[in-house]
Amino acid sequence: LTKDGEFKTVDLPTGKISWKAKPLSIVFDRDAADIVADIMAKGTKAFKALIKTVSTPDKAAMKKDRATAEQIEGVRFVDDAETFKIEPFGAKLAP
């Protein structure tokens, strides 16, 4: 059907058959924190390169301590935002 892998889709009178190879994936069989601890215990630069460290502002913490967060340049609280939404019933809208 695929001419030795030349095609990834086959059209049949009753429908279409397709296949796709999935990319390489990684599955952790243990808690990620335990894996990070094991990597750090190895101690080499090559192993430490396998750890991603991300630092981002914590909006939930800022909401809890608004007085402190408001002292940071570029942080602004928006209290009076509103959302207006219309959902028609029945007919579907064209994309």
**Res. 94 pLDDT band, cuts 50 70 90:** low
Predicted pLDDT of residue 9: 81
One-letter amino acid of 47: F
Record the tokens describing residue 91, joined without a space: 């007919």
pLDDT for 4-46, tens place per residue? 767 778 788 888 888 777 889 999 999 999 999 999 999 899 9
Predicted pLDDT of residue 15: 85
For the full predicted model, state whether its pTM sits above 0.75: no
Residue 93 has pLDDT above 80, yes or no: no
> 33 near 40, Cβ under 8 Å?
no
